[in-house]
Chains A and B, each alone.
Chain A
């Protein structure tokens, strides 16, 4: 199997806390993979460890055949990894346009992608001149995803895209993620199992800092016992 991202038993410490105690994630190229698990299981830390924002102390992360250990996080991102963080991290002091523009890695990235972004998120077109603060939660989420699309990213790490959004907007956002997964591979952290199960093809469940099980989403949907054990009532 062709994995674009291969995380092998990483251990990550934040301060003195041993947060990740052996996480394995294999992401097939072109798929949507969901990281599942309860609150505080270590899903977000896994994403940050991949990006080098919280560098793993042990284990190995390989992206497209290249080992990422020891690289600085901006060099890792520049290899073609987009990040949509949990709380969107829209820059308040920048306009919507600037929020997209800052993600450019080469001059003209935004102009090349503008049409594609507006077709995914038509709302952004009329918001483009506004300051980043004036957006609603849903619009901020759109912008955060759009920002990750500006450069040519081969992998997108999306953290809790549905958090705090109204159902209608969640539908819209799921459509958008399906669309963009045609262009690049997606790793999704999602608390909402309904959303994750509809989007993802493969899954990894993380429990107390360890990856406990993984496989095809279609199998997991049948496996009520596993869902109940690791994800609570779903």
Chain B
């Protein structure tokens, strides 16, 4: 016990100092302000945590500083928004997307087939590139003619923001009708499958065919699923759209959360296996790659959803008002679904200040269980320390890398869609969160999972208390001076905290000594 105290003396003193400052901060304001500020801190902390935890898992295991993490957070928000506000667009996109990905899941088949090619074609360097080019041209030709009901960023009355706004006001805009007038439907589907197959076949020719994989039914399962989604969404397009539009927007929001998270996972897996993997031996290139991906991601989002910021309406369960609101008891809230509840006389926004922290805590626990109680978690924890040894035990670390990268991006995407109804959607929403997350990780310890949680919490609380004190001012003891932190002090305060912590504990609060 005493040994534990001595070992962790600085940590304990630091945490005690935080607690003291925290209590002191509570003394300087009314109780209702304190409660609200605390909850807002938790909310910002939760969003920060969703970015920071994935970032830290990826860095810990893969040694990849994924600077695109903030952009992926933002992409998660925009994808979720699309499902929530424009389910018809979501259904329209499913078919081409599933069919385009489909061919790539059949890598075993392509490798097998490429063995049948004459040797000259296999060693030819130009052939695979030619295949890829044909595939890309074909995909482009079909996609640009494929009917997808969308929005028009150039035309204000049909801009994403307008759809959002009108939905929020209960008078949703009718989406433009589209039909197969530029391309024959059968031709379109065939073209997409062909493009995807040609592309995947071309890619498979780049690899070395040292051993040919076994073709089992298992290899075809992902393709089967994607084909089912693709053709299903094509055949039942109208029915599916009607079903989603008819759903209560609470369910739709849940679906949006799921779709955003799953897309994040898919995007992460794709990014790791195609772009990051070839660069494990060249960390600097990797850093430049993720930075470049970040910039590209932002431009893609600008091209599709436009530059202007827009809001995302909250689901009904968090947006009730009128008689009986703000609610004072849980039962009253459940009855009216008030957007605001009174807690210690403070007006607390249910979505922003209660729902987001709840999801944050749920994710914290879920990932903790994954790390501590499953074999995958065990391999991750071991791999963070010594990848080579894990590999020497006969474990396919590459696959674990892909899984962890996918999981990390999935968490960021979940954070994005979770943040969208409270922060709104903007091209820059990921950048501030990534910065927050980096500071939180420096404070908590770069590769420590509890550290990511603690750091995020501290950053969130500090920011929100600074903002609140910016409004009410801090009475400096023994003087008449009232100090009001100005807005620039808010971000500066977290950096200052980071500097202090790093001077005291260079590995962060819960980081391990290397």
Interface of A toward B, CB cutoff 8 Å? 51, 53, 70, 72-75, 77-78, 83, 85, 89, 91-94, 98, 101-103, 105, 147, 151
- Contact check, B394 vs A78: say whether CB atoms are below 8 A apart: yes
- Contact check, A74 vs B397: say whether CB atoms are below 8 A apart: yes
Q: Which residues of B contact A83 (CB under 8 A)?
A: 389, 392-393
Q: Considering residues A73, A75, A92, A93, which has the most beta carbons from chain B within 10 angstroms of its beta carbon?
A: A93
A97 to chain B, nearest CB (A): 10
- Contact check, B394 vs A74: say whether CB atoms are below 8 A apart: yes
B210 interfacial contact with A, CB 8 Å = yes
Residue of B nearest to A105 (CB): B394
As a 0/1 sequence over residues 366 to 386 of chain B, the CB contacts with chain A under 8 angstroms (1 = contact) are: 000000000100110110111
Q: Which residues of B contact A78 (CB under 8 A)?
A: 394
- Would you mind naming 20 contact pairs between A and B with Cβ atoms under 8 Å apart? A53-B388, A53-B391, A73-B391, A73-B392, A74-B393, A74-B394, A74-B396, A77-B392, A77-B394, A83-B393, A85-B392, A89-B386, A91-B389, A93-B381, A93-B385, A101-B378, A102-B378, A102-B379, A102-B382, A103-B393
Interface of B toward A, CB cutoff 8 Å? 210, 375, 378-379, 381-382, 384-386, 388-398, 512
- Contact check, B378 vs A98: say whether CB atoms are below 8 A apart: yes
Known interface pairs A70-B210, A74-B396, A98-B378; A91-B386 also in contact (CB < 8 Å): yes
Q: Which residues of B contact A92 (CB under 8 A)?
A: 385, 512
Residue of A nearest to B208 (CB): A70
> What 6 pairs across the A-B complex have the smallest Cβ distances?
A77-B394, A78-B394, A89-B389, A83-B392, A91-B382, A93-B381
The CA-CA distance from A94 to B389 in the complex, in Å, is 14
Looking at chain B's contact residues, is the secondary structure mostly helix, strand, loop, or mixed? helix
Residue of A nearest to B393 (CB): A103
Residue of B nearest to A133 (CB): B512
Q: Considering residues A75, A85, A89, A105, which has the most beta carbons from chain B within 10 angstroms of its beta carbon?
A: A89
Q: Which residues of B contact A74 (CB under 8 A)?
A: 391-397
A-B contact count (CB 8 A): 58
Looking at chain A's contact residues, is the secondary structure mostly helix, strand, loop, or mixed? loop
The CA-CA distance from A147 to B378 in the complex, in Å, is 14
Q: Considering residues B381, B385, B389, B392, which has the most beta carbons from chain A within 10 angstroms of its beta carbon?
A: B392
Identify 9 new A-B residue pairs, CB closer than 8 A, beyond the known A72-B396, A101-B375, A102-B393: A53-B388, A53-B391, A53-B392, A77-B391, A78-B394, A83-B389, A83-B392, A93-B385, A102-B390
A72 to chain B, nearest CB (A): 8
B212 to chain A, nearest CB (A): 14
Q: Which residues of B contact A72 (CB under 8 A)?
A: 396, 398
The CA-CA distance from A70 to B379 in the complex, in Å, is 24
The CA-CA distance from A80 to B393 in the complex, in Å, is 10
Residue of A nearest to B383 (CB): A91
Q: Considering residues B381, B382, B385, which has the most beta carbons from chain A within 10 angstroms of its beta carbon?
A: B382
B211 to chain A, nearest CB (A): 9
Q: Which residues of A contact B394 (CB under 8 A)?
A: 74-75, 77-78, 105, 151
The CA-CA distance from A77 to B395 in the complex, in Å, is 8
Q: Which residues of B contact A105 (CB under 8 A)?
A: 394
Residue of A nearest to B399 (CB): A74
The CA-CA distance from A70 to B295 in the complex, in Å, is 37
B310 to chain A, nearest CB (A): 44
Q: Which residues of B contact A73 (CB under 8 A)?
A: 391-392
Q: Of the candidates B384, B388, B391, which one forms a contact with A93 in the assembled complex, judged by CB atoms under 8 Å apart?
A: B384
The CA-CA distance from A105 to B384 in the complex, in Å, is 20
Residue of B nearest to A91 (CB): B382
A107 to chain B, nearest CB (A): 9
A4 to chain B, nearest CB (A): 17
The CA-CA distance from A78 to B391 in the complex, in Å, is 10
The CA-CA distance from A135 to B385 in the complex, in Å, is 17
The CA-CA distance from A59 to B210 in the complex, in Å, is 17
Q: Which residues of B contact A102 (CB under 8 A)?
A: 375, 378-379, 382, 390, 393, 395
